[in-house]
Amino acid sequence: MALVRRVDVMGPTAIGRATPPTVAPQPNPPAVPAQGPPAGADAPAQSLSSAVPSWAANAEAAAVASRSAGAGTVMVSFVLVGLGTIVAYVLQRWGNHAVPFKIGSSTSAYAGVVVFSAAVERFLEPFAQWLPGAQTRNEYESAVAAMSNGHPAMSLREVAAAKAKQDRAQANRTILMWGLATALATAAAGASGFYLLHMIAASDWAVTIPNWVDALVTGLVVGTGTKPLHDLIARAQATRDN
């Protein structure tokens, strides 16, 4: 649900900042005695007779339902993961037959997963500009700017609709990035021998899992971890720029 409040778009100082017109004082009208409700009528609710807070009287909001990622985007992502798995299988069957990594402890394996995820995330970063999300973000920011400037054709509901479109595009972008990262990590694991299950297996465990299956598991783990790493790197860059 894309919820947009006027105070969030225009700021708290923009609400009620218009200067009220000056009205000449008028003589007081003659007092009229208050009349009670007719016989048998219900008394007004206590909540209606109490004063309404100023923030509640001025608050305006609009909400538009945000749609989830499209079925086509999900299918494309799974196709990408399948292609990465096929590459890992081909490399195991007819390719370089990469030997699984040997490590000293499970902690080293998890550290390697973090490094692997960071490498995949940095590799995909230049291609992220062609994924969905940039255009809808620009449209949402344009709608916010138009409403802040008092454009007569821009309402709060249209801003909420633009926000809902941005949320949908962001959902599609997240799914596509997961598919790309998982496919790339699966293929890279099959080519390099970075098999997570083999690395964390006990020394007395005879691993019978095919390497291409281990490559897929590694790709799924790495593909899931690229987004948190991307967000962490983006926050670090923003902090450094500020």
Mind listing the pLDDT tens digit for each residue in 13-65?
A: 555 554 445 555 555 655 555 555 455 444 444 444 444 444 433 447 777 77
Mind listing the pLDDT tens digit for each residue in 52-93?
A: 444 433 447 777 777 888 899 999 999 999 999 999 999 988
What pTM does this model have?
A: 0.68
Find, among 77, 79, 92, the residue nearest to 187 by Cα: 92
Calculate the dihedral angle through the C-alpha atoms of 180, 185, 190, 193, rounding to the nearest 10 degrees: 170
- Torsion over CA: 178, 183, 188, 193 (sign): positive
Name the H helices within 95-155.
106-124, 134-148
